[in-house]
């Protein structure tokens, strides 16, 4: 009888491990609006958002988080909590189209001795980097590298930074944040 109980315990143990290793959850989101925009400097200060105008004097990152809603959740096994699942997935019903991302300042500035006109798309400037993997999660990250801060000259006025992007279902999103630069 004890051998039978040991065998049952072993099988139950394997069954429990199978639940943990094979459990999965899937959540589907839809991007529905502009969301928020925030500024972080490389030293970890921030977030500065639409309500607070940061004075920029060091490299920084601008983060756009789209507004999204949950349109569905699918749990393949309800016995194990999502926290224990090993194959959770976040899917988007619609996605940001990376090739439509544009970002610009509303005022001209000087970079490397050349005037960059207002409303110029800054994607081709090497000192500003768009992180490519972020767009899959409804987030856009734009990094202003040290070389940008060292080689750019701004007026003593506030600048409005604008980010525009489209989704694959033709939703047009636009976020802005005001910045003030302290020239080096």
Average pLDDT over the chain, rounded to whole?
83
CB 182 within 8 A of CB 152: no
The structure tokens listed for 132 are 């490519």
The pLDDT score that the predictor gives to residue 71 is: 84
pLDDT reported for residue 29:
87
Q: What angle do CA 141, 29, 25 make, to 5 degrees?
A: 110
Write down the domain spans for the chain: 2-181
* pLDDT tens digits along 2-20: 877 877 777 777 666 555 5
Q: Among 41-45, 169-173, 177-181, where is mean pLDDT lowest?
A: 41-45
Residue 124 in this model has a pLDDT that exceeds 70: yes
Average confidence (pLDDT) over 146-154? 95
DSSP β-bridge partners for residue 178? 160
Q: CATH assignment of 2-181?
A: 2.60.40.10
pLDDT digits (tens, 9 = 90+) for 16-69: 655 554 456 678 889 999 999 999 887 766 677 667 788 888 999 999 999 989
Q: What is the tally of helices (H) and strands (E) in the chain?
A: 2, 12
**Are 53 and 158 a contacting pair, CB within 8 Å?**
yes
Asked if 76 and 94 count as a contact pair (C-beta separation under 8 A), the reply is no
What mean pLDDT is predicted for residues 130-143? 80
């Amino acid at each position: 009888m004890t051998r039978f109980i040991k065998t049952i315990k072993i099988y139950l143990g394997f069954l429990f491990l199978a639940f943990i290793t094979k459990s999965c959850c899937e959540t589907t989101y839809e991007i529905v609006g502009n969301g928020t925009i925030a500024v972080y400097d490389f030293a970890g200060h921030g977030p500065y958002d639409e309500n607070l105008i940061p004075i920029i004097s060091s490299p920084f990152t601008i983060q756009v988080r789209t507004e999204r809603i949950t349109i569905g959740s699918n749990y393949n096994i309800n016995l194990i909590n999502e926290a224990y699942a090993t194959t959770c997935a976040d899917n988007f019903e619609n996605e940001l189209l990376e090739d439509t991302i544009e970002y610009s300042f509303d005022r001209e500035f000087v970079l490397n001795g050349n005037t960059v006109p207002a409303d110029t798309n800054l994607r081709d400037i090497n000192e500003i980097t768009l992180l490519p993997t972020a767009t899959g999660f409804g987030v856009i990250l734009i990094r202003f590298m040290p070389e940008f801060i060292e080689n750019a000259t701004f007026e003593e006025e506030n600048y409005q930074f604008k980010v525009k992007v489209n989704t694959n279902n033709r939703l047009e999103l636009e976020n802005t944040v005001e910045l003030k630069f302290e020239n080096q």
